[in-house]
Amino acid sequence: MKKIVLMIMIAGLVAGACSKKAVDKEEENPLLSAFNTPFETTPFERIKVEHYMPAFKEGMKKEMAEIDAIVSNPEEATFSNTVEALDSAGELLTKVSSVFYNLNSAHTNEELQSIAKEVAPLLSKHGDDIALNEKLFARVKSVYEKKKSLELTAEQNMLLDKAYKAFVRGGANLNEEQKAKLREINRKLSLLSLKFGENVLKETNAFEMVLKSEDDLAGLPETVVLGAAEAAKDRGYEGKWVFTIQKPSMIPFLQYSEKRDLREKIFKAYVNRGSNDNEFDNKKTASRMAALRVEKAGLLGYKTHAHFVLEPNMAKVPENVYKLLDQLWKPALKMAKKEAKELQAMAEQEGNDFKLQAWDWWYYSEKVKKAKYDLDDEALRPYFKLENVINGVFSVANKLWGIQFVERKDISTFHEDIKVFEVQEADGSHIGILYTDYFPRASKRGGAWMNSFRKQSKKGGKNITPVIINVGNFSKPTGDKPALISFEEALTLFHEFGHALHGLLSDCTYETLSGTSVPRDFVELPSQLMENWAAHPDVLKMYARHYETGEPIPQELLDKMEKAKYFNQGFAAVEYLSACYLDMDWHSLTGAEELDCMDFENKSMGRIGLIPEIVVRYRSPYFRHIFAGGYSSGYYSYIWAEVLDADAFEAFKEKGLFDQETARALRKHIYSAGGTDDPMELYKLFRGAEPKVEPLLKRKGFLQ
């Protein structure tokens, strides 16, 4: 059910916005008419801030008229005149929302953030007006109750099930008093989610560490120093160096800076975001959201928010999530403790008598890696020129499915950093459009993601092709050097490209089911699977080439990477899994009281025995995934999908890295199928059996 899915999407992407002028005439507002552009892509240069609010209101008005037409239809409810009609409703609102929220995430400003605040409660009410429409639900329910007598395709059955359950989960069976309470909870949650995300962005942008002395640069590689000098120049600190808590700036500093006090300063600035008792503090917001979610879950008849969220997912119930986490936590923690001892020994070997702290981990892990494997990130970076990595991921897609990527200069973008590619089949036929936006800026939230401006669907016998965007915050060019990214950033690029392929290769009839419209713990399979190719030695030889000489990465470095593949895996797993536990603990609460945020977090981490040398990947006050995104009770999905992707890649290990038969099956049952069937059934159609956990345990070094 598209409009309810849209509301969920909006809650995950929100960050702010406010209208100034009214634009009444449709021809004056480009959002209210067809885009007369190549492939009907967004004409960003024509869209102004004052266009959004009128377009949102018109979109809601038109969708409500479409809903009224379904409800007032005098004919008996059928799949066509009710369920399909419902899937088609809201096209304009979807278009406006897609443009607005993509920009609000990747290129926001105070005006957009103001609009987001203004429109959030309107959209919340609009979504509730549809979800709680008794006559509409009655028609959907009528079709649902006679579905066994209908000759529906598997995809139609899935659409019907999803539509019916969306109403039930949206409160359609509640009484009037309960519906009013649900509306108020939804309104509050939408605004709190906005506030949370906005605070994280502002706190992240507010911090800068300005260094005035070259002595403070001790240990930092030349590329890092050059980047800091350019950042300082951009901020008006000519002749100085600036480091921020954007990861491309912070991580290299933590890895290489010899100044322990400065490492502590930047690390604490990062992990204390949203917890500084200032105007951007998120502690009470997080606690309030958790309490409201308990109320909402209880209202809808669920024990906890986690039970509510997990019901349509592969995991089904919280117990299954905790079971997987527990299975991985014990070996991961054991490995992390061993790693901590190695780092402590390295620090003592240098004559230090302090106890290893979290801000020391990156620094001494680099030293241990160098000592044990003669390998460090800066030795790899020259082989990961951004353009080469992009060509590498395009080549993998080409070798698997013959698809090609043709850069288009005639398609509008919303920032000069963005590139646009037309995606084509091997025969040149059009698949879709891909935007890439890879460099950090103050107007962009942190992290990396994929989103859509238009999802694939089929309407009136016509295939509506997708328009997809990949966004990242990777290392920028410095001085006369191109953008040289880390190997970890290369893995992230491949990951997000996997999400993009999921959207681009979709071959579904209904937008509600197309592309990435799958259970949360299945959606990471297509993305994480691509990381396997990124790290494979044969593929690295294809794209990892020295930015100056063009020579492929030498076998010597590949051998070192292979030997070091289990290095720091304990840290990586513990840092991530602890965040999964924190998410599940917040959303397994049964009481709606507002708890002390940091006290709750400390008890959660104490229960699992998180060691002090490692900080949970996302602390509660900046855990955007669960408080300003769509991953509440769902952060575990990355590791759930890792079980799937490790098992899935075994098929290519068995039959060949680019085996065409396996690739065709992968495209058909995973990348193209969207949410047209149960995800486990789709997986078994591809793999022939349910996944095994052993490939993942082996890959992480937990089974050797």
Sign of CA dihedral 270, 273, 277, 279: positive
- Catalytic status, residue 488: no
C-beta atoms surrounding 428 within 10 Å: 9
Are 431 and 398 spatial neighbours (Cβ–Cβ below 8 Å)?
A: no
d(Cα 701, Cα 480) in Å, to the nearest integer? 40
d(Cα 648, Cα 191) in Å, to the nearest integer? 40
DSSP 251-301: HHHHHH---HHHHHHHHHHHHTTT-SSSTT--HHHHHHHHHHHHHHHHHTT
* Per-residue CA distances from 610 to 336, 483, 584, 648, 684 (Å): 10, 36, 15, 31, 36
Beta strand 430-437 pairing with 467-471:
parallel
Sign of CA dihedral 346, 352, 356, 361: negative
Are 503 and 449 spatial neighbours (Cβ–Cβ below 8 Å)?
A: no
d(Cα 444, Cα 105) in Å, to the nearest integer? 6
Collapsed DSSP state (helix, strand, coil) of residue 429: coil
d(Cα 264, Cα 362) in Å, to the nearest integer? 11
Residue 670: which of 657, 680, 660 has the closest Cα? 680
Token pair in block for residue 682 = 């789709």
* Per-residue CA distances from 112 to 106, 196, 357, 522 (Å): 11, 16, 40, 32
d(Cα 105, Cα 90) in Å, to the nearest integer? 22
Q: What are phi and psi of 454, to 5 degrees?
A: -150, 130
d(Cα 155, Cα 148) in Å, to the nearest integer? 14
Are 587 and 331 spatial neighbours (Cβ–Cβ below 8 Å)?
A: no
Label residue 30 exposed, middle or buried (CB < 10 Å: 0-12, 13-18, 19+). buried
Are 436 and 413 spatial neighbours (Cβ–Cβ below 8 Å)?
A: no
- Per 3-state DSSP, what percentage of the chain is helix, strand, and coil (rounded to 5)? 60, 5, 35
Token pair in block for residue 512 = 């509600």
User: Of 63, 155, 496, 601, which is the active-site residue?
Assistant: 496
Residue 545: which of 363, 328, 386 has the closest Cα? 386
Token pair in block for residue 497 = 């490209």
Interacting residues of 20 by C-beta distance below 8 A, sequence separation 6+: 49, 50, 111
Beta strand 449-454 pairing with 467-471:
antiparallel
- List the catalytic residues: 496
